Copies of this chain bind each other. A is one copy, B any other.
Amino acid sequence: MRLLHVRDSVSVFAALGDETRLQIVARLCKEGPASIVRLSEGFAMSRQAITKHLHVLEGAGLVRGSRPGRESVWELLPERLDVARASLDQISAEWDAALGRLKDFVEK
């Protein structure tokens, strides 16, 4: 169950490991749900490029799109950020545990 989290977090990290996508996440976060055209206005690249990035984010579960009418609106799913956070915390916890073991070893 723990290892599944780690596996899962890889896709989240990979999705956030691109400047454009991280900016998309930040914008969706600050400005709320937005359509593709509105989102692409903020970037110096084509609408289709933004669409591809949205699909990557969707694949990582970070974002969800719906289509009421002719425009597709995308919103952030902030719960998925916790997966990455949990992974970081797990690594840090194991690091601390390793330090503890080292300390025990030195003192004995």
Which of A6, A12, A15, A16 has the largest number of chain B CB atoms within 10 A? A16
Q: How many copies of this kind of chain does the complex include?
A: 2
Can you list, as one digit per residue, whether each of A4-28 has a CB less than 8 Å from chain B (1) or not (0)? 0011011111111111001001100
Classify the interface of chain A: helix, strand, loop or mixed: helix
How many A residues face the partner with a CB closer than 8 A? 33
Chain A residues 57 to 92 lying within 8 A of chain B, measured CB to CB, are 76, 78, 81, 84-85, 87-88, 91-92
Taking a contact as CB atoms under 8 Å apart, the answer to whether B26 and A18 are in contact is no
Taking a contact as CB atoms under 8 Å apart, the answer to whether A16 and B17 are in contact is yes
A10 partner, pick from B7, B12, B22, beta carbons under 8 A = B22
A26 proximity list for chain B (CB < 8 A): 6, 91, 94
Which A residues lie at the B interface, using CB under 8 A? Answer: 6-7, 9-19, 22, 25-26, 29-32, 76, 78, 81, 84-85, 87-88, 91-92, 94-95, 98, 102
Which 5 residue pairs of A and B lie closest in terms of their CB atoms, listed nearest first? A14-B17, A13-B17, A13-B16, A17-B17, A29-B95
